[in-house]
Amino acid sequence: MLELETEKFKAGDIIITYQDVWKGFEDLSVYEGLNLEIRKGETVSIMGGSGTGKTVALKMLVGLLTPDRGDITVFGKSIIGISEKDWVAVRQRVSLLFQSNALFDSLDVRENLAYPLRIKDPHIAESEIDRLVEEKLGLVGLPGIQHKKPSDLSGGMQKRVGLARAIVTEPDVILWDEPTTGLDPINTRRIGSLIKRMNEVLGCTSIVVTHDIGTAFEVSDRIAFLFNKKLILTDTTENIKKTDVPEVRNFLDGRFQGLYGE
């Protein structure tokens, strides 16, 4: 059994690495040497155009996809070739918030949140589920909606229920796949504050995959840019804002023009 000794890692220690990762699908090459290190407690955004591999990077971290070459480590342990049982252990610590909310439509909100809790501990008491569900719904600003079905909720609320489900087991790392796509400006800002709150209240480390430069600038300690099958620039948000790396500059300027309707 894979033992992830998460408690040995202090804020600022490297807890995730991608080391020269290559990944392709049949005749499509997505990554040719992905390198990235994530430190405990930081929020790192990965930005890049549509179809450049952002979701693939997150999926490799939770075992939904496997690299063709290279290594990925989580809390100091390689996760290449581990057993399905070990993946369950990794997913307790690293939680993926899907781009599509992937809620179970036939289950109410409580049961959606109970699902990962029952996987983590099949003997968990119903009263403990009630407590954790109430706490996490409160944290995402949706108290009291335990008995609603996903179809009764707005898109923004579904996103936040998805988030509550991603954090209900109290993971160390949250992977946010396009958390603000399709949301209005108010819900977009709400998600931005939630990403920061998860960091402040739960001490979570976050990797955020997004097209939304505003959110990336607001929440990130560092930002990484995907271009041509690798990360071409990873730097602090402050340095990214004034970068003159042409591909990144174009991406940023293009978005700003879009944002301001120019």
Ligand X SMILES: Nc1ncnc2c1ncn2[C@@H]1O[C@H](COP(=O)(O)OP(=O)(O)OP(=O)(O)O)[C@@H](O)[C@H]1O
Residues making contact with ligand X (CB under 6 A): 25, 28, 30, 48, 50-56, 99
- Check binding of 180 to Mg ion (CB under 5 A): no
With CB atoms as reference, the residue minimizing the distance to ligand X is 55
Give the number of C-alpha atoms closer than 13 A to the C-alpha of residue 145, restricted to the C-beta side.
Answer: 24
171 — alpha (psi -120 to 50), left (phi > 0) or beta? Answer: beta
- Least Å distance, CB 241 to ligand X, is 22
Residues 6 or more apart whose CB falls under 8 angstroms from that of 85 comprise 1
- Least Å distance, CB 181 to ligand X, is 8
28-39/77-78 β-pairing: unpaired
- Least Å distance, CB 65 to ligand X, is 6
Among Mg ion, ligand X, none, the one that 25 touches (CB under a kind-dependent 5 to 8 A) is: ligand X
- Check binding of 55 to Mg ion (CB under 5 A): yes
A 10 A CB-CB count for 161 gives 23
Residue whose CB is less far from ligand X, 80 or 202: 80
- Least Å distance, CB 181 to Mg ion, is 9
With CB atoms as reference, the residue minimizing the distance to Mg ion is 55
Angle, nearest 10°, between helix axes 126-139 and 155-167? 130
Cα dihedral value 207, 212, 213, 219, nearest 10: -40
- Check binding of 45 to Mg ion (CB under 5 A): no
Residue whose CB is less far from Mg ion, 16 or 209: 209
- Least Å distance, CB 56 to Mg ion, is 8
Residues lying near Mg ion in the complex (CB under 5 A): 54-55
